[in-house]
């Protein structure tokens, strides 16, 4: 399936997550898991979900290099296709994630989709982009509900994959996010809370397909 849609599965119910994966896995680019599922099932949920789709581990890693390596080794060993790391912890920290990842794709957070990011992260976004490029990440996290910022990040780094949250419940639209430079769109609640998630997946895929870069 040629999809650019990443579905965030931000729930505690592992059975629900696996049922959702079976239903939509073939029609999405990837599933994104966060701490709720890992706290309940542990890292094995990554390998379980990987039977149905690629899995991106949204752990927003932000620790010292040795701890980062341990985290990345674990989820990579469970079959994670991608992992998300913060970049504000500095070059040695982010580099440790990239080195430990091997074939697992590393996405670096340089901006976020919630209002509080404007306090400390967004004033340093350009520096975080430069640091991320230097360390060799695969892609960046850029907000899909802040089109001006998304366009600016795209303009600074055309070679990296932009994975964009903030679509749906946080106000961003797939059409505008793609128009302003997104490569992959993250949608969570608008899909997993829907009465028929597969229909929402198809609706988002249809909207995204009109604006391929």
Query: d(Cα 164, Cα 94) in Å, to the nearest integer?
Result: 19
Query: d(Cα 94, Cα 19) in Å, to the nearest integer?
Result: 34
Active-site residue identified among 4, 26, 32, 60 = 60
Contacts 24+ apart (CB under 8 A), 87-92: 87/128, 87/131, 87/132, 88/62, 88/120, 88/121, 88/124, 88/128, 89/62, 89/63, 90/131, 91/131, 91/134, 91/135, 92/65
Bridge partner residues of 185 (DSSP)? 5, 164
DSSP one-letter code for 131: H
β pairing state of 5-9 and 82-86: unpaired
Cβ neighbours of residue 96 under 8 Å, at least 6 residues apart? 65, 66, 68, 69, 72
Active site residue 60: yes
Which runs of consecutive H residues, i.e. helices, occur in 83-146? 91-101, 117-120, 125-135
Q: Which amino acids are annotated catalytic?
A: 60
């Amino acid at each position: 399936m040629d999809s650019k849609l990443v579905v965030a599965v931000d729930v505690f119910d592992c059975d629900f997550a696996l049922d959702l994966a079976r239903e939509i896995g073939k029609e999405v680019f990837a599933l994104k898991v966060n701490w709720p599922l890992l706290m309940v099932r542990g890292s094995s949920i990554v390998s379980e979900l990987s039977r149905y789709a690629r899995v991106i581990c949204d752990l927003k890693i932000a620790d010292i290099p040795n701890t980062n390596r341990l985290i990345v080794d674990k989820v990579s060993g469970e079959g994670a296709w991608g992992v998300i790391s913060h970049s504000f912890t500095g070059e040695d920290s982010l580099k440790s994630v990239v080195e430990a990842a091997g074939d697992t794709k590393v996405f670096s957070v340089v901006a976020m989709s919630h209002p509080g990011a404007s306090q400390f992260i967004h004033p340093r976004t350009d520096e975080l982009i430069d640091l991320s490029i230097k360390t060799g990440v695969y892609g960046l996290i850029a907000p899909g509900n802040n089109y001006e910022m998304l366009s600016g990040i795209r303009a600074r780094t055309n070679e990296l994959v932009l994975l964009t949250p903030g679509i749906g419940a946080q106000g961003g639209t797939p059409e505008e996010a793609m128009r302003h430079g997104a490569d992959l769109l993250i949608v969570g609640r608008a899909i997993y809370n829907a009465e028929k998630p597969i229909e929402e997946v198809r609706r988002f895929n249809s909207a995204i397909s009109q604006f391929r870069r």
